[in-house]
Structure 1
């Protein structure tokens, strides 16, 4: 769900105690299609100027790096060896060694990988994603060396990994959701929001933080709310119109599947009288397409689907009445 997960994580990183060492890897916008690409984004190659410090760090010394690090630090020659050998297990062994160095020196390593769905279908002797999660389980449940957080805005990816990677009982699923009504009211209370503005805000935007900030910064809040609603409605109308007139398709595994306009509309009409539906109440193609287009969101723990926001719900209810 698009509710500010990355901003929340960065906020938490800034407030961690000094005895935590963060390794943050953001895959957003990165093109990863093979082992070489994966290794490049996983590691931060240390140049000659810092090579001696990294050698000392592995003895271990925990104070040689910033409190938050974008990638796992690695000397250039070691990186090139991993790059040449193309053995993903070697990369895992190196990461484990680095994290153990911090752990044994009294620091608590925190490994954060943002937008992990980027490598969802990548294969290196089998699906890489399952090897990664087995490695994460080893780091946390078996060795107790680190805290590992995996972040994704792709709810179908989370649902798939949660069910297929055998993570039940081995991880905690944390939903970063929109604010509820009371939290929204409390958030807006200090920003000169009238009761009338509050009702308009909730009707059009619900508790989505990015929308609330836009309204707070707007001189005419009711006009801004209606503008966002009109924009959201137009986006949905255009998306459905394109499918109706030109068709569309999505990949499910290795199979290319046609998207059907009538089935999309039928799915969306369920939200006229309901705020959420069971994810197995609709056909798989429509479900995946609507989630992929950020119209719907799947909660893997409840097996329910709902619109991405109150704004999306309102737009759906308006559009399907005329679709």
Structure 2
């Protein structure tokens, strides 16, 4: 497969520079074909870019810990760059909504509930009653978070870290999430490793490896965490 792709890009690169984009690569993180496939892929990407100069390669993932692990274990230092695709800041959000003739009140509601998360903003833009939709999204996210914690509390859960199977503890998850009641972000090492990895895996928290900080995935998640933790 790699040889075919290499020949394909070699032919295309005679006229233009191809760009290869791989989305959500973490789904094959544990797939083995004579060893972990993901590491073979990254070594191949290095060959395409740094060695043969045939293409640009973008690897997109919502699992920041997966990317950090791959970065370390495939010796990518000096061979790639992190590009953080973050939510809009307030000014960008306001400008984006203004382009759709959103009222100041609706813009306030959008920022209060969704922050600058584009997918949520688009949902609000396409609704007539935007405040009702925002509250619906907020309530739904609260329900998801409560259900996730309830499942862990009653049934337990586990995750794999390397080759080790680790138990996830409800009390430690709550302890980690409670840190966000009064803070927007926390240090990467303020949370036990199992809880951190579990909450990232469940798309509740995001770890920024460049700043070593942890934050909720979105403003909606932050608000939902604070609401759920009030009664936890």
Query: SS at 2:58's partner residue?
Result: strand
Q: CA deviation at 1:262?
A: 0.6
Q: Return the alpha-carbon distance in structure 1 between the equivalents of residues 128 and 33 of structure 2.
A: 53
Offset of residue 122 of structure 1: 2.2
- In 2, the alpha carbon distance for the partners of 1:165 and 1:272 equals 37
| Residue 143 (structure 2) aligns with | 234
| TM-aligned CA deviation for residue 181 of structure 1 | 0.5
Unaligned 5+ segments in structure 1 are: 1-90
Equivalent residue for 1:100? 10
Give the Cα separation in 1 of the matches to 2:2 and 2:52: 13
1:140 equivalenced with 2:49 (yes/no): yes
Maintained 8 Å contact 1:159/1:299: no
Q: Which runs of 4+ in 1 moved over 4 A?
A: none
Structure 2, unmatched stretches of 5+, are none
Q: Pick which of 159-168 and 306-315 moved more.
A: 159-168
Larger Rg: 1 or 2?
1
1:131 aligns with 2:49: no
Q: Count residues in correspondence.
A: 232
TM-score (norm 1): 0.69
SS in 1 for 2:180: helix
TM-score by length of 2: 0.94
Q: Given that residues 278 and 303 in structure 1 are in contact (C-alpha distance below 8 angstroms), is that contact kept between their aligned partners in structure 2?
A: yes
Indicate which of 176, 198, 203 corresponds to 2:112.
203
**Does 2:110 match 1:169?**
no
| 1:253 positional shift | 2.2
* TM-superposed deviation, 1:225: 1.1
> Alpha-carbon deviation of 1:237?
1.2
Tell me the alpha carbon deviations over residues 224-265 of structure 1, each in whole angstroms, 9 at most, x when there is no partner. Answer: 111111111111111111211221112222222111111000
SS in 2 for 1:150: strand
Output aligned runs, 1:273-284, within 5 Å.
273-284=182-193
Distance in 2, matches of 1:213 and 1:95, equals: 36
Q: 1:309 Cα shift?
A: 0.6
Contact 1:162 1:300 in 2 (8 A): no
Moved more, 192-201 or 181-190: 192-201
